[in-house]
Amino acid sequence: MPAGVCGCCGPLRPRYKRLVDNIFPEDPKDGLSKSDMEKLTFYAVSAPEKLDRIGSYLAERLSRDVVRHRYGYVVIAMEALDQLLMACHSQSIKPFVESFLHMVAKLLESREPDLQVLGTNSFVKFANIEEDTPSYHRRYDFFVSQFSAMCHSMHEDPETRTRIRVAGIKGLQGVVRKTVNDELQAIIWEPQHMDKLIPSMLFNMQDSDDLDRAGHPGTPSGAGQDGDENPASLAESCFRELLGRAAYGNMNNAVRPVLV
């Protein structure tokens, strides 16, 4: 291909791709470019029909950076996603959300604790957003399974194990908050999900009791790393919230795993 043709490809790239590329600095230690992020956000708000393309392109970049272990750029991509979700949540964001959840899933599947926690934190922020219209096809089966697995983490480093378990519990709490008031997501109360979610809560509550009886000092109740709750207190809080949100027809599925 002639050099002249190659040289003009950059300017011909779609505007949304150029805006996304600009938020990433040459050195990831410099963090997200705030001025360029403002430009991308303004463009997304002004042209919400481009959100799905922005999300897909960010997902493409993030997947590549995860594979290449360029975690600094991964953090920047998730920060950008969080800001776009908060700025555009009043728009029709369904296609964008699918890209977002795909990226969160990519991080949760990673064996890197920092990426798992990063993905969980973004999911929790998303769970607190009230969408204008319900989602008919979105399912959270993967997230229930993955967060439940994180709740049972047996990482060899105690502090890392605690971080992963706390993230898993917060993730499950986010799934509950996102789905419990949505009639289309009543599937969350079905046995296959309750049989994962409830035991994950009880495991962390019981695990704390076992450590105390064994004479191992636990993390003070309500305070842990970075000011977060420890797994036991957070699990109890999430368990109480879950039962408090259960309707009469769903109570049996929530209580049965406890008795088992």
Please, what is the average pLDDT of the chain?
82
pLDDT at 208 (0 to 100): 58
pLDDT confidence tier of residue 228, bands split at 50, 70 and 90? low
C-alpha to C-alpha distance for 81 and 83, rounded to whole angstroms: 5
Retrieve residue 4's tokens.
């002249």
pLDDT confidence tier of residue 226, bands split at 50, 70 and 90? very low
pLDDT at 224 (0 to 100): 42
Angle at CA 23, nearest 5°, toward 19 and 24? 125
C-alpha to C-alpha distance for 239 and 234, rounded to whole angstroms: 8
Are 96 and 88 contacting, i.e. CB atoms less than 8 angstroms apart? yes
Show the DSSP H helices in the chain as ranges.
3-7, 9-12, 15-22, 34-46, 51-67, 71-88, 94-109, 113-127, 141-151, 158-179, 191-213, 231-245, 251-259
- How confident is the model over 70-85, as pLDDT tens digits? 999 999 999 999 999 8
C-alpha to C-alpha distance for 176 and 76, rounded to whole angstroms: 27
C-alpha to C-alpha distance for 150 and 168, rounded to whole angstroms: 5
Is a pLDDT exceeding 80 seen at residue 216? Answer: no
| Cβ-Cβ contacts under 8 Å for 197 (sequence gap 6 or more) | 144, 148, 172, 175, 176, 242
Q: How many CB atoms lie within 10 A of CB 45?
A: 14
pTM of the entire predicted model: 0.82
| Cβ-Cβ contacts under 8 Å for 198 (sequence gap 6 or more) | 239, 242, 254, 257, 258
DSSP summary character for residue 186:
G
Please give the residue that has the higher pLDDT: either 84 or 184.
Answer: 84
| Cβ-Cβ contacts under 8 Å for 239 (sequence gap 6 or more) | 198, 201, 202, 205
Q: What percent of the chain has pLDDT over 90?
A: 51
Long-range contacts of residues 132-135, Cβ cutoff 8 Å, at least 24 apart? 132/90, 132/92, 133/92, 133/94, 134/182, 134/183, 134/184, 135/94, 135/97, 135/182, 135/184, 135/185
- How confident is the model over 122-177, as pLDDT tens digits? 999 998 887 766 565 678 889 999 999 999 999 999 999 999 999 999 999 999 88
Is a pLDDT exceeding 50 seen at residue 4? Answer: no
